[in-house]
Structure 1
Amino acid sequence: MAMNSKLFDRIRIRPDAETTARERFPTCEWAGCEAAGTHRAPKGRGREGQYHRYCLDHVREYNKSYNYFAGMADEAVAAFQKDALTGHRPTWTIGVDRRGADPRRGFDGPDPSTTVNDPFGIFHGARPAGSHGAAAEPRRKVSAPTQQAFDTMDLDPAASREDIKARFKALVKRHHPDANGGDRASEERLRQIIQAYNYLKTAGFC
């Protein structure tokens, strides 16, 4: 076969796996290592979403000593683990109604007769039977967790950022133990309000 044959132009040499990895991935971040950083390793608490790039051997070494809770107090670790059961989303205690009020302690929200859209008057709501007033304006559609957060703060989903912040400050001031002579009876209600506000803040409502 002649050396200048066209067949030689069609010959391709498949690169080895290491060469391919070096082309696709950055160099391993482990000091002194020149291998391809084919594996990701989390950088730790407070830097969620950020990763180191290590080769297989060094990612194994890193994982042996990795501890997300390093430096956290036992109480903080316990609180984190408890919140992790619900995906760090706000929850409401059984026995608390949709407005966040405990029936055993009385209702601390707005009068339902002024907020319920009751066109047939079954619940003696805002529009009893026989009323021919204008239909209520359509409410902004939100997800169930978002609606629950608004209900906890006794707010309508159409509330503005300023209304949400003002309502949060007022509720915290009302239910904080210091404002109740150190009484911790409303501490659970305060926790729910804080969780609801943080959820709305994360969702971009305030």
Structure 2
Amino acid sequence: MKIDSPYFDRIRVKPEDDRRARARPGARVCGFNGCPCEATHRAPLGRDREGEFVWFCLDHVKEYNASYNYFAGMNDAAVAAYQKDALTGHRPTWSMGVNSWTKSGRREDPKPHFDPRKAADPFGMFDGADWRQASERPAEPEGRMIRNAERKALDALNLDIHATAAEIKARFKELAKRMHPDANGGDRSREDKLREIIQAYNYLKSVGFC
């Protein structure tokens, strides 16, 4: 279209304020002073007012966010302290060793231990039960702690958790000789089982069981 065209004079462009979407009836209005546009974006109010927001239109929320500073009014020391507390979610912490042990040993349990002999049994379900205090019960023999992987390895060798190092070595030699293809006329159908036995023995050896 030519500039001197008669159609050019009929073109009118609305001002910027007129082209912005005004708030619909009943809709939230922009929180910027004097702005009649619909508020479509929310922005935080600031420190100590977490969870509270103010609503703006798109243009004014951009302007608000550009100048927003959560730490406004705080000096460098206060900002550093805030960032340090943020590492623990602003929850209280204690030094290592606090609330765990005393000089004389573990603190006494404030909750009384359950005594079954003093419990009510209106239905007589536990008549004749042999209730004994913990001090009267026979002490269990001390032994090494068995983890699931070690228990699985012992099961692969058909041994229980009380097997000694000599028993583990003897059982490994016995099973390895029995499962080896050379002892079965070249039959390799037991190779998977042999591989499992070897892995179990090597694991027990690596953790000091044999």
| Global fold match (TM > 0.5) | no
Larger helix proportion of the pair: 1
For the aligned pair, the TM-score class normalised by the smaller chain equals: 0.3 to 0.5
* TM-score, normalised with respect to structure 2: 0.39
* Bigger radius of gyration among the two: 2
* TM-score, normalised with respect to structure 1: 0.39
User: Which structure is richer in relative contact order (CA contacts within 8 A, separation 6 or more)?
Assistant: 1
